[in-house]
A and B are shown apart, each in its own frame.
Chain A
Amino acid sequence: MSHARAFLSVVLVLLIALTSAVVTVPGVRAEALTTIEVIIGKNTGTVNGKSVTLEQGALITNGRTLVPLRFIAEAMGATVGWDAATKTANLTLADNQIALAIGKTVAKVNGYDVILDAPAAIVNGKTLVPVRFVAESMGATTAWDAASKKVTVQFSMSWLTDKAIVPFWEAMGAALGQSLTGLTKEFNATHPSMEVQLVQMANYNTLQTKTIGAIAAKDPPLIAQAYENWAAQYATGFYLSTFDSYINGPNGLTKTDIADFFPKMWDSAKLADGKRYMMPFNKSNVVLYYNKDMFNAAGITHAPTTWAEFAEDCEKLNKTNDKGEQTQWGASHTPSVDVWYGLVHSFGGRVLSDTYDNVLFGNNNAAKAATQLFADLYTKKYMHYTTAYGDQSDLGNGKAGMYMGSVVGRSYVEAAVGNKFELGEAPLPAGPNGAAVSLYGTNIVMFGNAPKYTQRQKDAAWAYIKWFTSSHTQAVWAAQTGYLPARQSSLQDPVLVAAYAAKPETRAGLEQLGSSILQPPTSGWNDARSKISSNLQAIYLGKVSVADGLKNMARDVQAVIRK
C-alpha cells in the first residue's frame, strides 16, 4: 500500500503547494534613504557619507546619546524653531511636531507627552538632543554600534507617507477597548512612520477561530492576542516567530528591562519547548468581589480568607422565602476552569504533571476535596449556578453576596452595582495548602514568518510591543483597565500610584501575584480546557458525583493532553 500512500501524499503536497503559490511579494520601492552617522567624542558627523563638522560632538548622558540639534534636524530635513522664553526647541517634519525643553524630562510629540531618560541640554552653547528619541519621533530608525561607539540614523520621507502597517487582532471590548485604542493612538502619533491597526473581535472565542482561519488561509495578522495554549497551536503552522532576535537586537531589551518584568509573566511567555513566542500583554487574575452592606447585615466583618470561611459565609448569607425559593445566594459563580485550576492547587492537588502529559487529579484527595467544596455549595444552593456574566449580574442586583471575577472586570462590576451598595474587592481565599491563583490573560504573538510582511512592518510591530510593555505604558494600562502591570517598576509610576491610592482594594490582584500559578502552555491543553469545563458543569449541576466526575474528567483530559 505504500505506492498508494506515496501517490496520495504527492497529490496533497501538490495541492498545498499550489495554494502556496499565491504569495504576495512585498513591493520593493526605491527609497531616498538618508544615512546619518555620529561617533561619540568626535567632532564630525557624516550625512550620506559626506563629512560634516560639528561645533559640539555627540556625548552620552544617563545612558542616552545626545547629538547636536541642528545637525540631526537639518540632516533629516526638519525645520527647527527655538522658543527662548521657555527654552524649548521645536522640530517640525511633514505633519509631525516635537517640542523639547532644555533640562525637562518630558517632551511633547504631536501633542502627547513622552518621558525621556535624558533631557535636551545645552553644552558649549549648542543644544544637544537625545538622538534615539528625536529620530524615532520623526520616523527614523537608530542603531548603536558599541564597538565603534557609533550611532547610525536612517531616514526616508517615504516612510512617513508609506507607513509600516501593523494589523493587531484583539478582543478588548468596551472600556478595555477604549483604553487600548487610546494607547494605540498615542503610539501611532509618537511614531509617525508606523501605524498599528487594531482589529477588534467580538470575543476570545471568535479571536481564536478567526486567527486559526486566517493562518489556514495563509493570511494571518501580524500580531495578535493569544493564550499560551493557542500559541502552542499556532506554532504548529509556519508563521509564528520568536521574539529573541528582537529582544537581543539593536532596539532590544536590556538586562535591567528583562529583570524588571514580573518573573511569572516573563516566564509565561515561553512555550513548553522553551522558545519565546510571546510577550506579556494583558495579565490578570481572579479576585473576590463582594457586597459590603450585605456582609455587615449578616455580621460578617471581612472577606473570607480561606475557602472554608468562604463556604461558611455562603451559608450565612443565603436566604430563602417561605415558599422555599432562593431569594439571596451567598455567592454566584459561573463554572470556570481558571478558578478550579487554582482551587485544586490551593488544596495541595495538582492538575497536570510537570511535563504536561499526565493527569494527576483523577483519584486525588486534594482535588476531590476542592471540587467537593464547590459542588456542595451548588447543591445546597448557597452558591448560585450561573452562566456567562450572570454571576456579575447577581452581585450587581443584590441577589448574591460574592462573586469571583477578573481584576479587569472592576469597571463592569462597578457599573452593575451603581450606587446600590458598597463594593468590596479582596484576594481569593486560600486553601489548606495556601493560596494559589491562576495567572491568566493573554500574551502577544507575532506571525513574523508570514511572507506578506516586510521587515519594516515587523520592526514596527516590535517597536509597538516594546513600547506597550514599557514601564510607563504598563502603568497607564493598568490604571485604566485594572490589568496587572507587566513591569515591577510600574508600581512606582505616579499614574499607578495614584490609581491604587484612590481605590486601595484594587491592589487585590497585585497582592495575589506571588501565589500565581501558570496553566500548561501546550496545544493539548486547549482541548483539555473544554473537557474540564464540560465535566465541571456536569459535576456542579449534580449530574454526577465529584469522584465519578473527576474520574471522567481525568480520562477525557488524558486522551487529549498529549497532542
Chain B
Amino acid sequence: MTSMRRSVILSRINRVFLYLAIAALFIVVVFPFYWMIVTSLQPQDAVMNVPPQLWPEHPTFQNYIEAWHAAPWTRYFANTAFVAVASTFLSLMTSSLAAFAFACIDFRGREALFNVVLSVMMIPTATTLIPNFLIIRTLGWYDKFLALIVPFSTSVFGIFLLRQYFLSMPKELWEAAQIDGASRFRYFRSIALPLAKPAIVTIAINSFLGAWTSFLWPTVMTQSPDKQLIEVALNSFLGEKGQQWSQLAAASVFTTIPIMVLFFFVQRQFIEGIGGGGIKG
C-alpha cells in the first residue's frame, strides 16, 4: 500500500471517528430537549415507569391543555414580553448614547468615567440584591413593573461593545458630517448607529434573553400574581405540581418555545456577535 493510500484511508477513518465523536457529544447535549418533549407527551402514569420509555406509547396532548389551564400563562407571557421589550429598548438607547460619548466625544473625565463604568462588571448581583431591595422600596417601585425595567435599562456589556464599534469608525466621517452642519446627535443617530447594527442586534438579543430568563430579581422585587414573569411562574408551577412530570414538561416546552423561535431567527447575528465582537485574540 502506498503511503499516499494509507494516509487517505487513515484520514477517512479519522473523519468517521470525527463525525462519531461529534455526533455522540451532540446527542448527549441535545437529548434532554428530546426528553422534555417526549415526557410532555406521555400520560402521567407512564412517567414514573422503570425503565423509562424512550418513545411514548400513547402520546397525548392532554398535559399541554391541563398545564395551560392550570395557571394564567397569557398574563405571564405578556408581562415578560413587556418587560423584555421595554428594558431592551431602553438599554439600547442609553448604552449606545453612552458608548458614542466614550468613543467620539472628547469630554473631561471621560477616561475616569469609563473605567468606573467598567468596574461595575466586577460587582456581583448577589452583593447588591438587598440594598437594591431597599432602594426599590424607597422609590415606591416595589411590586411594580418599573422595578423590573429601569434597573436593566442600561448594559455595561453594550457600552463596551458599541464603544469598540464606534472607535473603529474613521474620523473623516465625523468631519464630513460636521461640514454638512450635522449636530452630534444627528451624526450619532443617522451615521454611527446604522454602522453598528451587528453589535446592536447582539446587545438586543442579550438583553431580551436576560429579561426572559430573569429569576432572582423578580422573585425579590414583586409579589402580585399579575406581575409574575415567566421563569418565576414556571418555578411556582414546579412547586404546585410536585411530581407531575408530564405537565411540568409541557409547561417547560411552551414557556421555552418563544425564546427558541426568536433564537431561530437571530442565531447567526447572536453567535457572530459573541464570537466575533469585543474579544481580541
Contacts and interface: CB of A to CB of B under 8 A. Distances in A.
Direct A–B contact in complex, judged by CB atoms less than 8 Å apart: yes
Interface of A: 15, 18-19, 22, 173-174, 199, 201-203, 205-206, 210, 213-214, 216-219, 388-389, 393, 397
A173 B134 CA distance: 31
A201 B225 CA distance: 9
A450 to B, nearest CB: 13
A196 to B, nearest CB: 15
A199 B223 CA distance: 10
A173 B223 contact: no
Contacts of B224: 199
A305 to B, nearest CB: 31
A388 B245 CA distance: 14
B236 A206 contact: yes
Given A15-B138, A202-B236, A216-B133, 12 more contacts: A22-B140, A173-B240, A174-B240, A199-B225, A201-B239, A202-B235, A213-B133, A219-B142, A219-B143, A388-B242, A388-B243, A393-B48
B10 interface: no
Contacts of A19: 134, 137-138
A166 to B, nearest CB: 15
Contacts of B140: 22
A203 B237 CA distance: 10
Interface of B: 48, 133-134, 136-138, 140, 142-143, 220, 223-225, 235-240, 242-243
A199 B227 CA distance: 13
B133 A217 contact: yes
Contacts of B220: 213
Given A19-B134, A388-B243, A393-B48, A217 B143 contact: yes
Contacts of A216: 133, 137
Q: Give 6 closest A-B pairs by Cβ, nearest first.
A: A202-B239, A202-B236, A203-B239, A217-B142, A19-B138, A22-B140
Nearest to B139: A22
A213 B48 contact: no
B236 A210 contact: no
Contact of A15 (B134, B136, B237, B239): B134
Given A19-B137, A219-B143, A389-B242, A213 B236 contact: no
20 contacts: A15-B138, A19-B137, A19-B138, A22-B137, A22-B140, A173-B239, A173-B240, A174-B240, A199-B224, A205-B239, A206-B239, A213-B133, A213-B223, A216-B137, A217-B136, A218-B142, A219-B143, A219-B223, A388-B242, A389-B242
B50 to A, nearest CB: 9
Contacts of A213: 133, 220, 223
A393 B243 contact: yes
Contact of A217 (B137, B225, B235, B238): B137
A15 B138 CA distance: 9
A216 B131 CA distance: 12
A213 B132 CA distance: 13
Contacts of B235: 202
Contacts of A397: 48
Contacts of A173: 239-240
A18 B143 contact: no
Contacts of B143: 217, 219
B131 to A, nearest CB: 10
B260 to A, nearest CB: 25
A190 to B, nearest CB: 25
A152 B223 CA distance: 40
A77 B243 CA distance: 54
Contact of A202 (B134, B223, B240): B240
B119 to A, nearest CB: 24
A19 B133 CA distance: 11
A22 B133 contact: no
B20 to A, nearest CB: 34
